[in-house]
Structure 1
Amino acid sequence: IVISTRVRLARNVRGFAFLSRAEAETRRDIADTVSAAVRRAPLLRDFVHIDVEQLDELDRALLVERHLISRQHAEGAGARRLAFDPTEAAAIMINEEDHLRIQVMRSGLQVEEAWRQIDAIDDALEEHLDYEFHPQFGYLTACPTNVGTGIRVSVMLHLPALRLTNELEKVGQAARDMKLAVRGLHGEGTEALGDFFQVSNQITLGRSEVELIDDFRTSVIPRIVEYELAAREALLRTRPLALDDKIWRAVGALRSARLMSSNEAMQYLSHVRMGLHTGRLSVVDLQTLNELFLQIQPAHLQKLHGERLSGEQRSIERAAFIRTRLSSN
């Protein structure tokens, strides 16, 4: 149910204007300053550096699909950089909304582990950068909701049973009660493709990082997981035939379709994934399924094919690629 954990820190460098007021030359100076700090930090010496401004649209989209940069960073203007470790578990967006957006991602619910890693990266950078910090308000950021600790904790969950039982409002209500946001697969402003949802905090001022992380670990996520498990049990108990039909129709479509959109494929893969986790299906292995969720995305599909494709061509290639991958299962 819990797919991954992401912890992000927003930081700005003292002496430079916020990006909303920064001229092109200032943006480049910020990018150069932060990139130099990353290179000087021993902890970050293995990080890969990419000039996002120089990438074409397809390569930027690929980085978005891999959750290394945001759509805002991909679609922005002026000097923009990315530094990430070879495992892609940690990344630093330079000149996104703030001067730095540091993020660490872990599989499953590993909030404390992600926090420890990102805290170490933040300390390593602060040895070479002077952050904008106010003694009363904390770290100063472009968006007021990030002022304070500057931390954003996001957990990705797969909630197909709650959607099938029309009980997603339980997640929304729980989120509102705890002052959280529920977003789609790629974060703010995106839809929940394949029944994947991101749950994240909205406010950082007035709460410590440890308090927030403890809430996610012991209260927020366990509560949502409990709702999803209850919905799955209800489906198995009261509608097993309907559940099996949904799962096996998805298998049939994935193995037979000649045209398939991203949204359609994500939904079918979601149903198959639920079938695996409820024990109703065993003809597809989980690793293949998890790889397909990423490989069928538009940019990845075009990279695998070796050329740009129109929407219809992508639908054809996506269906063929899925059929080939599933034929070995």
Structure 2
Amino acid sequence: MTLEGLLDSPSELAADASAGSVSIVLMTRIRLARNLAATPFPGWARDEQREEAYQACCAALTAIPLMKRGLSVSVAELTELEKQILVERHLISRELSEAKRGAGVVISADQALSVMVNEEDHLRIQVLRGGFQLKKAWSAINELDSALEDHLNYAFSETRGYLTACPTNLGTGMRASAMMHLPALVITGQMEKVVRAVNQLGMVVRGLFGEGSEASGSIFQISNQTTLGESESGILKRLGSVLETIVEHESNARQRLLEAQASNLFDKIGRAYGILHNSHLLNSAEAMNLLSLIRLGVDLGHFPEAERARVDRLFMETQPGHLQHTQKGEIEPMQRDLLRASLLRTEFANVSAPDFSRA
């Protein structure tokens, strides 16, 4: 698979996730941190050691049937725009995009699996699944991890589990997370309370692109915070329980909005539709927030269910890197805002006005 072919194909985030999906959960992700035995962690390794580890990991990955038809590329081969697009698709981290020598990524053809090589750890294995699919995500990543372990000698301790560059990843080396759409909790001002409660349960809440990012479009990532002293199944069970509770809180908040502030909510959704239908200048954050309201409108039955896929696709296609990719090169922020508004006008010209009689 070529890089151009990957960039021109749909992201897993925009894929149909009808199997096992919940409207509030956009995507499930599981990540495993792994390192090679008797090899310095990437941050401590010399350039030649990083290069040796990179070659060994890539050779093992491309020998696995799951990854054979995918893309293997070093960070040095990527342009700044290509790196930005891969970050927007959650296929690489911002940290990997800033790496220099001896780092890269191997991505499956369907973009559901990606393995970063020489980020903070030698291997950051991750699987993405649309919707609420923790079990399927775990099954897929466990299969890939086991296949890799047949080719590579992992750094492992009988008392500490998998050894990692950061002590917080010791043990299972697993981070499981869900990307959740929580507009009602944001509108009703309850999100801060949810964040505090989640933190007390050993979980963490982050923005759309993980640590340090903003929660634009009312989209949040919820993940486990501890990996040592817990089994993979224990982490998944605890996270699943927390996610189900958040889904329940969001559903209740939506019901309360409909009961007590229906006119205000309909006004927000109607205004979002009007702006997307007619605007000529939109920045990324504003577009995400407007699309979030349209997606809420789909969930509440004011737009046809078929429009959900359009909104989820536009969440991705209106990101700065993706917009620039359509123009085959970098463009100035003002031009991006013009192009974003034009794209959204074109898309929403085919979307019927919200039907609030179905409330």
TM-score by length of 2: 0.89
- Within a 5 Å distance, the mapping from 1:250-261 to structure 2 comes to 250-261=272-283
1:194 aligns with 2:210: no
Per-residue deviation at 1:55?
0.6
Per-residue deviation at 1:282?
4.2
Matched to 1:254, the amino acid is: L
Partner of 1:162: 185
Partner of 1:120: 143
- Within a 5 Å distance, the mapping from 1:44-83 to structure 2 comes to 44-83=67-106
Q: Aligned to 1:245, what secondary structure does the other structure show?
A: helix
1:268 aligns with 2:268: no
Partner of 2:247: 225
Identity %: 44
Determine the C-alpha separation between the residues in 1 that align with 2:110 and 2:62. 17
Matched to 2:255, the amino acid is: E
Query: Which among 103, 108, 127 is matched to residue 131 of structure 2?
Result: 108
Determine the C-alpha separation between the residues in 1 that align with 2:63 and 2:73. 16
Determine the C-alpha separation between the residues in 2 that align with 1:42 and 1:106. 19
Moved more, 154-163 or 208-217: 208-217
Matched to 2:98, the amino acid is: E
Determine the C-alpha separation between the residues in 2 that align with 1:160 and 1:112. 26
1:2 aligns with 2:25: yes
Matched to 2:242, the amino acid is: V
- Within a 5 Å distance, the mapping from 1:283-298 to structure 2 comes to 285-298=307-320
Matched to 1:287, the amino acid is: A
- Within a 5 Å distance, the mapping from 1:123-202 to structure 2 comes to 123-202=146-225
Q: What CA RMSD, in Å, does the superposition of the two structures yield over aligned residues?
A: 1.3
Confirm or deny: 8 A CA contact 1:139 1:149 kept in the other structure: yes
Determine the C-alpha separation between the residues in 2 that align with 1:166 and 1:226. 16
Partner of 2:233: 210
Confirm or deny: 8 A CA contact 2:67 2:109 kept in the other structure: no
Determine the C-alpha separation between the residues in 1 that align with 2:67 and 2:330. 34
Per-residue deviation at 1:244?
0.5
Partner of 2:114: 91
Per-residue deviation at 1:306?
2.2
How many residue pairs were aligned?
328
Matched to 1:244, the amino acid is: F
Determine the C-alpha separation between the residues in 2 that align with 1:126 and 1:118. 12
Structure 1: gaps (5+ residues)? none
1:307 aligns with 2:329: yes
Partner of 1:243: 265
Q: Aligned to 1:91, what secondary structure does the other structure show?
A: strand
Moved more, 252-261 or 281-290: 281-290
TM-score by length of 1: 0.97
Structure 2: gaps (5+ residues)? 1-23, 352-359
Confirm or deny: 8 A CA contact 1:193 1:263 kept in the other structure: yes
Determine the C-alpha separation between the residues in 1 that align with 2:298 and 2:80. 36
Q: Aligned to 2:43, what secondary structure does the other structure show?
A: helix
Query: Which among 281, 297, 302 is matched to residue 280 of structure 1?
Result: 302
Q: Deviations over 1:113-166 (max 9, x none)?
A: 111110110010011100000110000001111000000001110000000000
Q: Aligned to 1:87, what secondary structure does the other structure show?
A: coil
Matched to 2:129, the amino acid is: R
